Amino acid sequence: KALNYVRDGMVIGLGTGSTAKYFVQLLSEKIVEERLRIRAVPTSVKTLAQAKGLGIPLSNLNVEARLDLVIDGADEADSQFNLIKGGGGALLQEKIVASASRKMVVISDRSKKVESLGKFPLPMEIVKFGADFTRYQIKDILSELGYNDVRLAWRTNNELKFNTDENHYILDAYLGRISDPKILQKELLSCPGLVETGLFINLAKIIIWGSEDGSTEILEAV
């Protein structure tokens, strides 16, 4: 379904994660079959390697002034087009690419459709310098917003802190339910050591939810 939005001559952002991986594979096949002139901007080193291996022509945001489309997955999505992303640790680059795109199409399985965000832990990309102090500041901000007794956990990889492509840490906040994503995003970004959060607000234009039986539900912004 997401491939239907791809047109000849487009510059396309390629998302990161288990769902986006399938799209990248199918896109490479479509490019060959239809002889499309496509340039792609990956959102992570992992996606770049996959796209390169499949022969997809690559570009970057230092060359492209604007992207026509970005296709990416989501860890959670609600009917107001609010998302939580970053389960794969690429939220910063994903958000930069999404912000540079005219249209963001989200592909996700129906289990990730929620009434309100927050069951999935909210990832935050944190500068290494003073990281523990930044964590304390974030806890205070969350407490002031009414998120009390919140568990904040550093993302790990083989018992070491996970490093993003930009050489930052990921701090996961187990919030349970996010009452107002816009306010939460604004207040968290006031913390100097926090680079970006996994809250994607006012970015997605189309959400495609898929089910195991092959049926899809498409939500499109007016």
Question: What percentage of the chain has pLDDT greater than the value 90?
Answer: 98
DSSP 160: E
Helix (H) or strand (E) holding 124: strand 122-126
**Residues known to be catalytic:** 94
| pLDDT bracket for residue 154 (50, 70, 90) | very high
Interaxial angle between packed helices 131-144 and 181-188, expressed in degrees from 0 to 180 and rounded to the nearest 10: 140
pLDDT of residue 112: 95
What are 123-153's pLDDT values in tens digits? 999 999 999 999 999 999 999 999 999 999 9
Residue 101 to residues 61, 68, 128, 202, Cα–Cα distance (Å): 10, 6, 29, 12
Separation CA 76–CA 181 (nearest Å): 12
The whole-angstrom separation of Cα 210 and Cα 158 is 32
Largest Cα–Cα distance in the chain?
55
pTM for the whole structure: 0.94
Segment (H or E) for 48: helix 45-53
The Cβ of residue 145 has, within 10 Å, a number of other Cβ atoms equal to 17
